[in-house]
Amino acid sequence: MINLVLFGKPGAGKGTQAAFLKATFNLVHISTGDLFRYNIKNKTALGQKAQSFMDKGDLVPDRVTIEMLEAEVDRNPEVKGFIFDGFPRTKAQAQALDVFIEAKNMKINATIALEANDDILVKRLLERGETSGRSDDQDESKIRNRFDEYKLKTAPLKDYYEGQHKFHSVNGIGSINEITERLTNLIVSLN
């Protein structure tokens, strides 16, 4: 089994790359952002809890997010592994994930950060907003707020995973294919 955390700022390309990696390594891709958007679209109770936070570009509270993530893992028994995309985003989420996954005799093999600078990311997100319909991608102040949330709450996870010797960095600037290749080479070298 191989379990990967894809790490990086909004717009770094986590979702795009996860789609390729799940096919190559036969993994289940869990994106907390996609799960929240699905719940909002279907007007579930969970969606209602998440919506006001997401609309502002704030993180959804840990308890709500952790419960959703754990339910999604439990819905997928007997798999070759998971790609966690957009989770964990806080230290509390990372600690909860470690406890949860160890109780299942599983482990996180690697946390892989896709690195790109803010100006490129803002440009990518505004472009995505033109076609995706995502309101959090259409307003530069919401995008900047997501970056602030990232710096404050998510960036410290680098130290958390470096402490576990699991942190890897990949250059997230280049063509989609080039970046997929960088990630694939790294994952193959993990074994």
Q: Is 128 known to be catalytic? A: yes
By CB under 6 A, residue 65 contacts ligand ADP: yes
Q: Which of 9, 22, 142, 146 is catalytic?
A: 146
By CB under 6 A, residue 108 contacts ligand ADP: no
Residues 6+ apart with CB under 8 A from 158: 7, 113, 167
The single residue among 146, 161, 180, 187 that binds ligand ADP, judged by CB under 6 A, is 146
Q: Is 134 known to be catalytic? A: yes
Q: What Cα–Cα distance (Å) separates residue 89 from each residue in 13, 94, 127, 140, 185? A: 16, 7, 24, 21, 25
The amino acid that residue 172 corresponds to is G
Q: Is 146 known to be catalytic? A: yes
By CB under 6 A, residue 57 contacts ligand ADP: yes
By CB under 6 A, residue 157 contacts ligand ADP: no
Q: How far apart are CA 136 and CA 10, in angstroms?
A: 10
Q: Which of 9, 14, 49, 153 is catalytic?
A: 14
Residues 1-40 interacting with ligand ADP (rule: CB under 6 A): 10-11, 32-33, 36
To which H or E segment does residue 153 belong?
A: none
Cβ 87 to ligand ADP shortest distance, Å: 4
**Count of residues of this chain found to bind ligand ADP when the rule CB under 6 A is applied:** 18
Closest residue to ligand ADP, based on beta-carbon distance: 33
Q: Show the beta-strand stretches assigned E in 8-135.
A: 28-31, 82-85, 110-115
By CB under 6 A, residue 93 contacts ligand ADP: yes
Q: How far apart are CA 122 and CA 116, in angstroms?
A: 10
Cβ 79 to ligand ADP shortest distance, Å: 20
Share of the chain residues as helix, strand and coil, in percent rounded to the nearest 5 = 60, 10, 30
Q: How far apart are CA 134 and CA 46, in angstroms?
A: 18
Name the site residues for ligand ADP (rule: CB under 6 A).
10-11, 32-33, 36, 53-54, 57-60, 65, 86-87, 89, 93, 136, 146
Which residues are annotated as catalytic?
14, 89, 128, 134, 146
